Amino acid sequence: MWHRVERSSGKLSRCFRLFENAKTNQVKASMENGILIITVPKMEVKKPDVKTIQISKKKKNHWFND
């Protein structure tokens, strides 16, 4: 969460970059008691699939005496 305080009279504009996975078509803004709240939802990042590999116990090698 970001918090920014600016005091100014007259017109004020602010530009900022959004993160790469921002849902720009779902940005919402509201102002209450002089506080501007901007909500930018993020797209879910797909996590890579996790695969389980069964590892069997290695059989004794006949070349070596154990």
pLDDT in tens, 33-52: 878 899 999 998 888 888 88
Q: Is residue 32 part of a domain?
A: yes
φ/ψ of 23, rounded to 5, equals -90, 85
Give pLDDT, residue 36.
Answer: 84
Give pLDDT, residue 9.
Answer: 66
Q: Is residue 24 part of a domain?
A: yes
Q: Is residue 1 part of a domain?
A: no
Give pLDDT, residue 63.
Answer: 63
Single pTM value for the model: 0.47
Give pLDDT, residue 40.
Answer: 93
> Domain residues for 29?
17-43
| Distance, C-alpha 33 to centroid of its chain | 30
Q: Is residue 10 part of a domain?
A: no
Q: Which of 45, 43, 47, 37 is nearest to 22 (CA)?
A: 43
Average pLDDT over residues 7-28: 82
The total number of structural domains in the chain stands at 1
Q: Is residue 11 part of a domain?
A: no
